[in-house]
A and B are shown apart, each in its own frame.
Chain A
Amino acid sequence: MSTPQPNDFSVVHPIDHLMRADRLPHILCAGCGIGTVIHAYVRAIDESGTDPDQHVCVSGIGCSGRAAGYVNVDSYHSTHGRALPFALGIAVHNPSLTVTVISGDGDLMAIGGNHFIHAARRNVNLNVICINNFNYGMTGGQVGPTTPIGAKGTTAPQGSIEHPFNLPYLAKACGASFVARWTILHVRQFTDAILRSMDKDGFCFTEVLSPCPTSFGRRNKLGEGLDEVEMYRERCHIENGAENLQDLDIDIVDHEQPITVGNFVDIERTAFHA
């Protein structure tokens, strides 16, 4: 292979037909995991063999809200916290579409928390990918509903004193048909989880732990994105079908505690159809 030359746009990535490639490189920070999740989503569309015209991508507000702008399927960048009601309307009106919500923890679980529990309760046929970076990254690193106890943020310089949400436990309790948690390093596993969600009829929830080197990593001395991903690699242990979802809290201060990942729930439950 010849040495790559700067300013060379002659090489085209094989998945570029499912991306709005003219907008790349995207605005996300170096080391941010949202790009990997978008990449995995378009790869799942490619591998599923379905027509991209049958896919809809809905995103909320925040860094992960940019996802809808980069994928070359029908996509909607909705208002803050309202990605789920918007997607619910699409899924209920046209059940033949595969609707995927790619959004962040601040959008889905804070302002959109009520929509989340009721979409899961109704078991609407949606695939929800929640990119969890433990804070409000775009607005400057404020503490959110998933910030672990003791983790620092702009609004908690001494460390957060609140109990965070345990997202897989919450999704299971609300009645989701499929619940998984992976990190961006488990890219093959969460691509498979997205593929399973696309096949499955009902509310499918995948939490993806993603590094946020600019906001969360910097304040918590986690280093660059690579260092945070390396921390996940050392601490994650895979437990598919784990029973004790209440024990899945993430401790970001004590690096001896394991982070449990896997496909936890895969049940048959009647989906909501109008």
Chain B
Amino acid sequence: MTSADGIVRKPMDLDRAGVPEGEVHIITERCKECGYCIEYCPEKVLVYSKEINSRGYHFPMIAEDKATSCVLCKFCDLICPELAIYTTDASDDETQS
């Protein structure tokens, strides 16, 4: 964070701020496979599942190596037309570094 004139700038809340960590919850039976949550996730956390729900749709699931990648932007929750996905803050369960 060095500006052009050589001054080192440091955010005042750097010790308190961090990357939020979210946990994704999926209500698989409501999903209709529109794909909005999968396409517009900024961290590409979600993928289509190989399984289907009772209506025959491939619901989203967490990609294998992305279990802790959610940054809690909540966009999947907001865009979902079926109210089939939501996120919660997972940082309460983690030990703060």
A residues neighboring B (CB under 8 Å): 1, 3-9, 11, 13-16, 19, 21, 24-26, 28-36, 39-40, 43, 184-185, 187-188, 191, 224-226, 229-230
Contact = CB atoms under 8 A, between A and B. Distances in A.
A59 to B, nearest CB: 16
Contacts of B53: 6-7
A35 B81 contact: yes
B33 A36 contact: no
B52 A6 contact: yes
Size band of the B side of the interface? 35 or more
B54 A25 contact: no
B39 interface: yes
A183 to B, nearest CB: 11
16 contacts: A4-B49, A8-B27, A8-B28, A15-B83, A24-B82, A25-B32, A25-B82, A30-B33, A33-B81, A34-B81, A35-B81, A35-B82, A36-B80, A36-B81, A185-B40, A224-B34
Contacts of B57: 30
Contacts of A230: 39
Given A1-B62, A31-B34, A6 B79 contact: no
B72 interface: no
B80 A39 contact: yes
B79 A26 contact: no
A33 B78 CA distance: 12
A6 B50 CA distance: 12
Nearest to A14: B86
A187 B78 contact: yes
A1 B67 contact: yes
A11 B59 CA distance: 15
